[in-house]
Structure 1
Amino acid sequence: MPEPTGSGSTAGPVPAPARTALVTGASRGIGRALVLGLADAGLAVGAVARDALALDELVDDVTDRGGRAVATALDVTDDAATHAGVRALAAELGGIDLLVNCAGRIEAQEVAPWEADLDEVRAVLELNVVGAFSLVRAAVPGMVARGGGRVVDLSSGAAHRDSGVNAAYGASKAALFRLGGTLAVAGAPHGVLAFEVSPGVVRTDMTLSMASHEGRTAWTDPADVVALVLAVARGELDAFSGRYVRAGVDTPASLRALAAAGLPARARRLDVVRYGGDDPLG
């Protein structure tokens, strides 16, 4: 039988389109493209990364393009530094309407789980999961106090699709998806929404280092990622709170059409697929 439509969360206030944003992992790759794209669209953007020099150059680039950005160099795995940095950026920006958890890493070697380096596993989980939790704890209370906001997690197909390698990365992205889903439910009565945005396969230092992408010629355009995040920021994709979308496959227009047609309750969520209507898990 068809599943009912619905968000799976308690209805609450609808947050206004974002005027400000905070992007982690902002010094290069997708994070840098997001800072530039959001600023070009008129948002004031706070940029966070560990590389202070790269952040200074990024702020200069935004300014040269007529936008506004401020930056703080910090390691998001340092909870105290993260909270202090978010407070400082929020004060400069006048609040944070959109949080983009973009900082992340993957194992250096593509090996089976039993061959994984445990120190590297811990490092991946610490940055990709605990770092995101720290940002949520630092930024979301301000959203709740102001009546709402939106959180975007940079997700991956590894969040929902099994692979024989990179188990730490896959586990971290699945955990991030569950964090986003929990935030979508807990935050809805407060006007806080959460989205899992997969960038597809963008040509970055990380993807170029992966053996699985050796020889790849087809890459996702970073502009497609920016377009989806901008659509989230503007409130155009609120029906997808708690759900997964993918740049290079989904577009703002295609997602708006899907939402208008009515989304099944479990569509694009992290879930266990039932084998049929008589599945006792139903």
Structure 2
Amino acid sequence: MTRASQSIASVFDADKVGKAQHVRKLIRQGDWHSHTSGLASDHVQGNVVILPESLATDFLRYCQRNPKPCPLLAVSEPGQAKLPTLGGDIDICSDLPRYRVWRHGEVVDEPTDISALWRADLVTFVLGCSFSFEQALLEAGLPLRHIEQGKNVAMYRSNIQTQPAGIFSGPMVVSMRPMKAAAAIRAVQVTSRFPNVHGAPVHMGDPAQIGITRLDTPDYGDAVEVMDDEIPVFWACGVTPQAALVQARPAFCITHAPGAMLITDLLNQQLASF
């Protein structure tokens, strides 16, 4: 076991209050650079988009028009790297395992710290993540193969179009989890309680109906096998803004690397609607 794996394993022995802070500390000091699926599982995780202030209003409207893939958890003040409503010690420049730096719609770097790139005009958006409802699925007795196999969740660009706002538009990205039919029905019931982290699935069954031709080659994340007695279940995904960035081609922006989320101090149960 690597030093990083040993450190992350120790997270699950930490008390619930300190668990998220402990994981962020490990990330901040460079001990974890991989996906965050299954880490601090009772805490809310967030997708991150960091844009110049000149684009922030358009992106805010994009999120408001597309709450299923882009549920807003927090928006920072320009130039502010802190997110006090999500965690008192959060520093957005260092608290993600891996970032993506974009220039004109293309990823040019994937650093583990963005302090050197920080600017006074940058605005941070944190969006809900499906990793947050996975705890509820597991507690309901619904197994999740990517967690069992230590993989990132599989994510695909679909043919479901988002509602445009300003320069932002494009396809919805979806995450997929294979389930037996009865489990899929239960998953709808469980995840519908969490609209701030994508809520109920957007599609179940034939992936071709939403423009996905091959499940074994996801656009983001890791492929998992769908067994003969299972159906693929698709949820809206917070990587959707990255598909919009490819089309919008802003001169500069930063996002999380798919699966490498911000872990907040919020508890998943706080987001349950009923």
Q: TM-score, normalised by structure 2?
A: 0.27
Greater length-normalized contact order (CA 8 Å, ≥ 6 residues apart): 2
Q: Hey, which of these two has a bigger chunk of strand by percent?
A: 2
Q: Which has the larger radius of gyration?
A: 1
Q: Hey, which of these two has a bigger chunk of helix by percent?
A: 1
